[in-house]
Amino acid sequence: MRMPQELCGDEELIGGNIYQKKYLYQFVVAIIMSSAQRVVHRSWHLFDANKQVVGKLSGNISRLLAGKHKPNYDPRWDGGDNVVVINAKKVVFEGDKWRSKKYRHHTGYPGGLKTVIAKDLLAKFPERILQKAVNGMLPKTFHRASRMRRLHIFDDEKHPFIEEFKNAQVLTEVEEDDRLPWERISEN
């Protein structure tokens, strides 16, 4: 890898005063540092949604999809992992949300506002409850669509990603790590 001095070029090409040279040097170093983070190693996480509260589960899932659990997290790059959720039809809402929570969408025609309560949505499309909850918890940036593509939700225990989970354990929640980022890197 070339050093930033080599990338900046000769003194005649740069020109200008010392402040311009310092800014150019910092800019080139920033490009090198940010391009080093583009190498993304995506792992697979399996969640069992049986008797899990929708809000807590979708918060943990969105954290993994965004990559905030990794020490090299950068909001500019999409460095999250793949998440598979099984038993989506067995999720739980707290309180009286099965009858009071409403999902609305508009058809685009005049008077086309459609409303569905959570109980009916679970009966027809059980995976959409978690999908809408996770989608609402992700940041509203251009990375949200690619992060949602890495979320795979199934209403029962059968899924086609068995190859990725041969030696993995089923997660119910994300483990919090109290170590500093450089302590996590040193053990790998």
Is the predicted pLDDT of residue 11 greater than 60, yes or no? Answer: no
CA atoms of 26 and 32, how far apart (whole Å): 10
Q: Phi-psi region for residue 51, left (φ > 0), alpha (ψ -120 to 50) or beta?
A: left
Q: Determine the pLDDT at residue 42.
A: 86
Residue range 153-159: mean pLDDT, rounded: 92
- pLDDT (tens digit, 9 = 90+) per residue, 58-78? 999 999 999 999 888 888 888
Residues 6+ apart with CB under 8 A from 129: 54, 88, 91, 118, 121, 122
Q: Does domain 44-174 have CATH number 3.90.1180.10?
A: yes
Band (pLDDT 50/70/90 cuts) for residue 163 is confident
Residues 6+ apart with CB under 8 A from 20: 14
Q: Pick the residue with more confidence: 40 or 177? A: 40
Helices (H), the chain: 4-8, 11-14, 18-36, 54-66, 97-100, 118-124, 127-137, 144-149, 181-186
The first and second tokens of residue 36, run together, are: 């080093």
CA atoms of 127 and 154, how far apart (whole Å): 6
Amino acid occupying residue 41: H
Q: Determine the pLDDT at residue 25.
A: 55
Band (pLDDT 50/70/90 cuts) for residue 49 is very high
CA atoms of 59 and 78, how far apart (whole Å): 17
Q: Pick the residue with more confidence: 182 or 101? A: 101
